[in-house]
């Protein structure tokens, strides 16, 4: 069974990812404007009418900004945990009752020929989740906005063919940067964001021969840059005898435009 993956936006300013099979097309998050999402879909030769479902990870604006308008414009059902719905509903505008769906961590959610599995992540929001998407033997996992690597996270990353993993910040850039101390503490905390070093170490722990593609995403605009994130993670992988280009392909999820499209 064919499974497609393409980030439409990934970063501290907005996040949206497209995943599609032969019979199902979904978005994970809609944290940029509806117009920008439609433009990203158009590059994939799709429109909002092709989208079967929108899954939300958590209620921060960089994950929900365009969700309400997309749902109303194209009659797209929105899936989120109960507490995420409670936290974000006032920001979405009016959503048709038939398009409001509650999901539960660790429970499979079938959508036509794919299954979507939410799993708990450590982030300072109401009830945040990451997602694994299954189609036949293929598995794509998205894990961003994660303060630290938990056993639950590791278990859900294992066995993925493709992984979108947060590589949010360089620790020294963050510490020396202009953010107020309380914000720095939040980002560095157990329910904040994953650093470049932590992303590399986590990848080294969970990587198997099945993992062929890794995308580093949700980079901070102020405390990171794509070259630094890539180089840091690549060096950690190499020190663990994992060669990028030989054992797996690694790329960056672009902040403002579609990333590389992958077909499994």
In tens, the pLDDT along 202-238 reads 999 999 999 999 999 999 999 999 999 999 999 999 9
* pLDDT averaged over every residue in the chain: 97
Contact 72, 35 (CB under 8 A): no
Residue 190 clears pLDDT 90, i.e. is over it: yes
According to DSSP, the residues that pair with 248 across neighbouring strands are 244
Mean pLDDT value of segment 68-74: 98
Q: CATH number of the domain that 247 lies in?
A: 3.60.15.10
Contact 145, 218 (CB under 8 A): yes
Residue 1 clears pLDDT 90, i.e. is over it: no
% of the chain surpassing 70 pLDDT: 100
103-141 pLDDT tens trace: 999 999 999 999 999 999 999 999 999 999 999 999 999
How far is 139 from 137, CA to CA, in rounded Å?
Answer: 7
Q: What pLDDT, on a 0 to 100 scale, did the predictor assign at position 256?
A: 87
238-255 pLDDT tens trace: 999 999 999 999 999 998
95's tokens: 């959503």
Domain extent at residue 215? 3-263
Q: Is the dihedral of CA 122, 161, 47, 77 positive or negative?
A: negative
**Total structural domains within the chain:** 1
């Amino acid at each position: 069974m064919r499974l497609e993956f393409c980030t439409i936006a990934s970063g501290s300013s907005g996040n949206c990812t497209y995943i599609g099979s032969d019979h199902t097309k979904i978005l994970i998050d809609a944290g940029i404007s509806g117009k920008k999402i439609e433009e990203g879909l158009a590059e994939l030769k799709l429109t909002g009418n092709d989208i079967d479902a929108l899954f939300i990870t958590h209620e921060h604006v960089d994950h929900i900004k365009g969700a309400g308008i997309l749902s109303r414009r194209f009659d797209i059902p929105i899936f989120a945990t109960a507490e995420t719905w409670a936290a974000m509903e006032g920001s979405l505008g009016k959503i048709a009752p038939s398009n409001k769906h509650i999901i539960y961590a660790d429970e499979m959610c079938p959508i036509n020929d794919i299954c979507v599995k939410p799993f708990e992540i450590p982030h300072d929001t109401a009830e945040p989740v990451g997602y694994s998407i299954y189609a036949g033997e293929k598995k794509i996992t998205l894990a961003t906005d994660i303060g630290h690597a938990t056993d639950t996270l590791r278990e859900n990353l294992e066995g993925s063919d493709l992984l979108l993993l947060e590589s949010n910040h360089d620790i020294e850039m963050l510490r020396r940067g202009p953010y107020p101390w309380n914000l720095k503490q939040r980002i560095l905390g157990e329910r904040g964001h994953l650093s470049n070093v932590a992303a590399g170490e986590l990848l080294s722990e969970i990587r198997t021969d099945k993992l062929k593609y890794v995308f580093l995403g949700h980079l901070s605009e102020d405390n990171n840059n794509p070259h630094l994130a890539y180089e840091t993670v690549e060096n950690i992988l190499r020190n663990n005898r994992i060669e990028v280009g030989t054992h797996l392909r690694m790329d960056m999820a672009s902040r403002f435009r579609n990333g590389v499209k992958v077909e499994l």
